[in-house]
């Protein structure tokens, strides 16, 4: 009788583990339909300030790069941006507007509900990633300005005067 009892226990135990494994897999699939787990959400909320500081740092570097290009363009009004350069400047300006909105919402981040705090921190992280991607792309693209072609008006006036005009 003892061997049967032991075999019965092993069989029952194996079925319990099998059912438990199936239930765990089912739970994971259902949970993924509803979003992140509480552990993941908690990590995002916990690192809201870190995500904000990372976003802020990447934004400052990107703005500085844009401002360097704009200074080069505006120097003596002798240069104009290429189309690619202007597209990058426009992209940075768009990102700057989005960052300013997030910066205005940051002071109230601690007052947000747990779910809202999770979503806000997630957006901060995504914005940092986008800023970093823009920085990385910018280092691969050679930003150029072209000299503006200007006609020498003195030369044209001189020619007009020499022709008896």
Whether the CB-CB separation of 105 and 120 falls below 8 Å is answered with: yes
Helices (H), 106-152: 114-140
Class of residue 47 by CB neighbours under 10 A (exposed 0-12, middle 13-18, buried 19+): middle
Residue 10: its pLDDT value, please?
44
Domain boundary assignment for the chain: 1-35, 38-162
pLDDT, residue 37, reads: 76
Res 18 pLDDT > 70: no
Among 34-38, 57-61, 87-91, the range scoring the smallest mean pLDDT is 34-38
Average pLDDT, the chain: 76
Q: Which residue has the higher pLDDT, 35 or 137?
A: 137
The proportion of the chain whose per-residue pLDDT surpasses 90, expressed as a percent, equals 34
Mean pLDDT of 122-128: 94
DSSP 148: P
What pLDDT sits at residue 113?
A: 87
Q: Which is higher by pLDDT, 135 or 34?
A: 135
- Cα torsion at 32, 34, 35, 40 (round to 10°)? -80
Instruction: Give the pLDDT mean for 91-98.
Output: 95
- Residue 96 clears pLDDT 50, i.e. is over it: yes
Q: Assign residue 162 a region: left if phi > 0, alpha if psi is -120 to 50, beta otherwise?
A: alpha
Q: Are 55 and 120 in contact (CB under 8 A)?
A: no
């Amino acid at each position: 009788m003892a061997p049967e009892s032991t075999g019965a226990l092993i069989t029952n135990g194996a079925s319990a583990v099998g059912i438990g494994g199936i239930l765990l897999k089912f739970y994971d699939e259902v949970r993924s339909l509803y979003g992140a787990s509480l552990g993941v959400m908690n990590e995002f909320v916990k690192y809201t300030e870190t995500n904000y500081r990372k976003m802020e740092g990447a934004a400052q570097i990107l703005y500085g790069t844009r401002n360097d290009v704009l200074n080069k363009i505006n120097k003596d009004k002798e240069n104009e941006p290429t189309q690619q350069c202007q597209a990058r400047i426009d992209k940075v300006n768009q990102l700057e507007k989005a960052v300013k909105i997030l910066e205005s919402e940051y002071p109230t981040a601690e007052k947000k509900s747990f779910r809202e705090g999770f979503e806000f921190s997630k957006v901060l992280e995504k914005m940092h990633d986008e800023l970093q991607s823009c920085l990385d792309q910018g280092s691969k693209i050679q930003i150029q300005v072209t000299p503006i072609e200007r006609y020498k008006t003195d030369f044209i006036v001189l020619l007009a005067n020499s022709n008896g005009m």
